[in-house]
Amino acid sequence: MQKLFSFRFWNSIARLILRNREIILGLIVIITIAFATQWKHMQFTHTEANLLPDDHPINEEYNQFLDKFGEEGNLIILGVENKNLETFQNFNAWNELADSLATFKEIEMVLSTSNLPNLSKTEDNKKFIVGPVLTEQLRSNEDLKDFKQKLFNDLPFYKNLIYSENDSVIRTAIYLKKDIVNTVERKEFILDDFVPLVNAYSDKYNLDIRTSGMPYIRTLNAQNIVDEIGMFLLAALLVTSGIFFFFFRSWRATFISIVTVVIGVMWAFGILGWIGYEITVLTALIPPLIIVIGIPNCIFLINKYQQEIKNHGNQAKSLQRVITKVGNATLMTNLTTASGFATFIFTESKLLVEFGVVASICILAIFLLSLMIIPIIYSYLPIPKERHLEHLGKTWINSFTDWNERMVKRQRIPIYITSVVVLILSFIGIYQIKVSGSLIEDMPKGMQFYKDIKFFEESFDGIMPLEIVVYSRNEKVTGLKTLKKLNKLEEHIIETPELSRPMSIVSAVKFSKQAFYGGDPEYFELPSTYDAVTMSELVKKSSNDISLMKSFVDSTGRNARITTFMKDMGTDRMERVEENLREKIKTIFPDDRYEVSLTGKALVFQKGTDYLINNLILSLSLAIVLIALFMAWMFKSLRMIFVSLVPNLLPLLITAGLMGYLGVPIKPSTILVFSIAFGISVDDTIHFLAKYRQELTANNWRIKKSVYAALRETGVSMFYTSIVLFFGFSTFTISSFGGTVALGALVSATLLFAMAANLLLLPSMLLSLERSIANERTLKKPAIPLVEPVSDEEE
């Protein structure tokens, strides 16, 4: 009864598709055009990837910091080595570049050697005044020498702000207006105005100008994503269609497959525009993913159609059987693949939720397109010629299936031993895996902006901002007691090799004392109690302009901000630095008088990585449970769940072990591999077990005959699809992003291991377990008869 219902359902679907060809094609065209109209709504992300949910305490703490002090990620840095500025002409050109940048409406402020403010007292010693360090253009190399002498020796306030610790690099700080930092205006300004101007000065005066800062890095990184989308699409299409043609040797079949996946890509872009999700480093992978996943659908459907044609030559019957026999199995495989992506929805990370939603929708869409387009197009075409069917009987394919059968029949013990040894080695490798919370590790290392990041990191001891906010409960943070505590914390930061020299209100107060004592750099220190009283009188009579670092104290005067920069380091080391900082903070700032918080983009990203890893482990577990439930529903056998999961979990463990041996860390990009690969690799298991179940009922529960028959019929398709998937995901390795390269390489490797496990280990287990699983009592009729034989009479 169940079999009859399933047959009738899919037979009805087949008739619906084939009898309404024009209507369905028309609907596909209309939907495709409708999605094409949504392309204009696609937007590339202008904000950084936030791996934490909005209501996470770390995010809330960071948002509170932004409320107090404003956007921290609005700083762009220009740097040039001191040796490039040995002539006054070059130095004037460097200053002229800063002055030119200051004229743009998108710039809030520029701090450079052309406009450095200097603090001093009036002649009557009654108040402080602010004046420029450089009053006019340099006119000789002697002027340049005098200026550098003053900057490097007399103005310690600017150390690590304008010049590096060892005086080897001079830089200009450019502050964008905060309201454009996360908008398209930032991108347009940097690409259309900023970069061309800097390049023009660099070329004209032969200055090796280095550029960094989060707005600049984000813009070039995002532009690189845009540039790579087209490259991925073309590479994925050429590679997968090329392999498809190699296997089928049919231009017609190849063209039909290309048309199908291209429409799927058009839908993917349309869905992104329609839903309103931004294109990020992850969602940018969805269109090529559709090609890579869609081509195997085409392989199963076209291969089945050609097998039917070869068997009986009746085109109408062949097209109907393609939908009736393969439709349900293909639906289940696409559902499991979509499930692997859909588990990302439960991570609560916006970046991954959007990726999971769009990817799972698009995978189901490409299934529907394949199921409708391929039979419909073939219905208008003549029956394939004999040469189009030659691949079904190729000698090398037969040799491969013969070898596969011999291995399963005669070498089961070596297969098990090899599997156990590989499993043990994998566990050893897994224990060597490290976690990476680096902000820049996945950035394209060949790009100039990445090299500039490393340049500034080496010159200024860090590039990733770490913010410390000290809230004083009893007094303003400008009080001498609090300033001394802040200074003690700064001294600890300076002693920490992974952190740069900090900037805070402490530096401004030290600069004030230096000015109080006539600019003598020996007095660049916190004032004594007596000096503080005297200086406060001068401050009251002075203009507000002396607040050189007013952004380091909020409007209430109770919150002080210390900004330091972290070197790029692994998560383990970063956690130790953070722990060390928190311990020092506890000893300096009593809880009853102060509240201290650590935040900043570097810390948020590191915490986001930890959060993401924990959640993706949960999502992988959910995928395993979900697919196990699929198996239980389909086969109604607990033992079959075990048999089906082992060949798909083993490749994941092998890949994890390889990551440990090869030094590939766990990070957001690599942790994605396991859910994606598991959802895809289990497809082969479903196809094999579906055919095995069919052969068991057809052969009166003769296990060996059923296993070998299933292996022969599905083995070729499994091999074809696995090879397509392997090379398809391998196209991601041409990316300049380390994360994308790792994703492509690891998924490709996992799918290759999964193919071997499904072709060797899975049938071996079925043969070894024999009667314990393959009988009518333990292997009940499935809830969905995936591939049941259809007699001519039924048709």
> Which one of 26-35, 434-443, 594-603, 639-648 scores highest in mean pLDDT?
26-35
Structure tokens at 505: 């209100």
Neighbours of 629 (CB within 10 A): 12
Could you report the per-residue pLDDT of 394-429, keeping only the tens digit for each?
666 677 778 888 888 888 889 889 999 999 999 998
3-class DSSP state of 55: coil
- pLDDT band of residue 12 (cuts 50, 70, 90) is confident
Q: Which of 44-58, 234-248, 580-594 has the lowest mean pLDDT?
A: 44-58
Contact 303, 717 (CB under 8 A): yes
Under the banding of pLDDT at 50, 70 and 90, the label for residue 732 is confident
**Is residue 599 pLDDT above 70, yes or no?**
yes
pLDDT of 782 > 60? The answer is no
Q: What is the pLDDT of residue 19?
A: 86
Using pLDDT thresholds of 50, 70 and 90, give the confidence band for residue 793.
very low
Instruction: Give the confidence band of 541 by pLDDT, cuts at 50, 70, 90.
Output: low
Neighbours of 758 (CB within 10 A): 29
- For residue 134, the surrounding DSSP H or E stretch is none
Mean pLDDT of 128-157: 87
Helix axes 141-154, 88-101, angle to 10 degrees: 70
Task: Supply the DSSP symbol for 626.
Answer: H
What does the alpha-carbon distance between residue 451 and residue 528 come to, in Å, rounded to a whole number? Answer: 44
User: Are 266 and 36 a contacting pair, CB within 8 Å?
Assistant: yes
Work out the number of other CB atoms within 10 angstroms of the CB of residue 527: 20
Range 113-138 average pLDDT? 82
The rounded percent of the chain whose pLDDT value lies above 90 is: 10
Q: How far apart are CA 292 and CA 55, in angstroms?
A: 36
Tens digits of residue pLDDT in 293-335: 888 888 878 878 887 877 777 888 888 888 887 777 778 778 8
The CB density around residue 492, as the number of other CB atoms within 10 Å, is 18
Strand 169-176 vs strand 117-121: parallel, antiparallel, or unpaired?
Answer: unpaired
- pLDDT(784) > 60: no
Rounded Cα distance between 436 and 669, Å, is 10
Local confidence band at 263 (pLDDT 50, 70, 90 cut-offs): very high
Taking alpha carbons only, the member of 714, 662, 667 closest to residue 689 is 714
> What's 501's DSSP letter?
P
Specify the DSSP element, H or E, that contains 599: strand 594-599
List alpha helices for 517-600, DSSP H.
Answer: 529-541, 571-588
Q: What is the mean pLDDT of the chain?
A: 81
- Those residues whose C-beta lies under 8 Å from the C-beta of residue 242, and which sit 6 or more positions away, are none
Residue 387 — very low, low, confident or very high, per pLDDT cuts 50/70/90? low
> What is the mean predicted confidence (pLDDT) over 625-633?
75
- State the DSSP string of 666-694: B-HHHHHHHHHHHHHHHHHHHHHHHHHHH
Q: What share of the chain is helix, strand, coil (3-state, %, to 5)?
A: 70, 10, 25
Q: What's the CATH fold of domain 2-49+219-431+606-772?
A: Multidrug efflux transporter AcrB transmembrane fold (1.20.1640)
Residue 190: is its pLDDT beyond 70? yes
65 backbone dihedrals φ, ψ, rounded to 5°: -60, -45
On the question of pLDDT at 786 being above 70, the answer is: no
Residue 793 or 646, more confident: 646
Tell me which of 716 and 30 has the higher pLDDT: 30
Give Cα separations from 296 to 92, 261, 348, 634, 676 (angstroms): 62, 10, 31, 22, 15
Per-residue pLDDT band at 71 (split at 50, 70, 90):
low
Higher-pLDDT residue of 367, 793: 367
Please give the span between the terminal C-alpha atoms of the chain, in angstroms, as a whole number. Answer: 16
pLDDT at 771: 59
* pLDDT of res. 27: 93
Q: Cβ of 657: how many Cβ atoms within 10 Å?
A: 22
**787 — pLDDT class (breaks 50, 70, 90):** very low
Instruction: State whether residue 138 is helix, strand or coil.
Output: coil
Q: How far apart are CA 464 and CA 454, in angstroms?
A: 11
Percent over 70 (pLDDT), the chain: 89
At 274-297, the pLDDT tens digits run 988 877 777 877 888 888 888 888
Q: Which residue has the higher pLDDT, 660 or 573?
A: 660
